[in-house]
Every structure is written in C-alpha cells, then in structure tokens.
C-alpha cells in the first residue's frame, strides 16, 4: 500500500519536473503530502523567476504556504535534495522524504538519515531519464552547474 502511494505521488512530482523543463527550467519536481492528500506541488523555477533558491522542494514548500506543522507530512522529490533543501527539510521537521533518484545528483541523503529523517530512495527510471535528457541538451550542463553552485 505505501509503495503504491509512493509511486502515485512520485508520478505527480515527475509531472512537475517535466513541466519545469517544458518552461525552460530544470526538471526537478516535488510534492508535499499529508494523510494521503497533496498539500502542494512545485518544480525548480530558478531560471523562470531568476531566483537562486527556487529549487523544486523550495517552490513546493512556498506553495504550501504557512503550515502549523510539517511533522505529519511526506515530501516527494524527483532528485536527491541539495544541502539547502535538506536543511529546510530538517528545519521544518519533515519526517519522511521519498527521493526519485540519486544517480544524476547524489545530494545529501546521509545528512538527512543522520538526523533521523526517514529517507526512501526509489531509484525511479522516469526520474533518472528526465534528468539525463535535460543534461544531454546543449547549454544545460552549465545551467545545472549553476543550480548546484559548481564551477
């Protein structure tokens, strides 16, 4: 049952990632869920908004608006979260994170797990493929390096 829900919500996050890429940005999507219901979804919008912190997870959380607590939520993200997004997950006390893939970007899974966050890595082919496709396009590798602050 939980695996079915994880696949369902990851499919929504992947749709967000594809939307981000269609809009000219990076293909990283996220969905915040509480009690089996979507609270918010979003995708990386750094390029679209010229906002250096508009990562997929941050966009999703911004769209969720003020929440009394995040301690009963699950965050689904197509790509392993960076340190900024991992810090936000920890700050808000999100207890579980489901990650689509960590092949194209390792992210900070050990950081999250080391601080008691329940991390599920799905190793999802759709999530891997959308990022591979993006990185293969001319100019996108430079855009990706900008996103993760890598020279």
Catalytic residue numbers read 57
CB atoms within 10 A of CB 60: 26
Contacts (Cβ under 8 Å, ≥6 apart) of 127: 10, 14, 17, 78, 79, 100, 101
**φ, ψ (nearest 5 deg) of residue 38:** -70, 125
Nearest one of 4, 12, 69 to 42, comparing CA atoms? 12
């Amino acid at each position: 049952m939980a695996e079915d829900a994880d696949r369902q919500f990851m499919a929504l996050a992947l749709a967000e990632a594809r939307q981000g890429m269609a809009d000219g940005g990076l293909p990283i999507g996220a969905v915040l869920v509480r009690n089996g219901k979507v609270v918010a979804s979003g995708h990386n919008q750094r390029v679209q908004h010229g906002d250096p912190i508009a990562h997929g997870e941050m966009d999703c959380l911004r769209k969720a608006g003020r929440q009394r607590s995040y301690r009963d939520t699950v965050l689904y993200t197509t790509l392993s979260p960076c340190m900024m997004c991992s810090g936000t997950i920890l700050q808000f006390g999100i207890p579980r994170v489901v990650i689509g893939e960590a092949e194209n970007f390792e992210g900070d899974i050990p950081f999250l797990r080391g601080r008691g966050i329940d991390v599920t890595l799905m190793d999802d082919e759709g999530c891997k493929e959308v990022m591979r496709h993006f990185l293969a396009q001319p100019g996108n590798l430079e855009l990706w390096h900008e996103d993760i602050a890598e020279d």
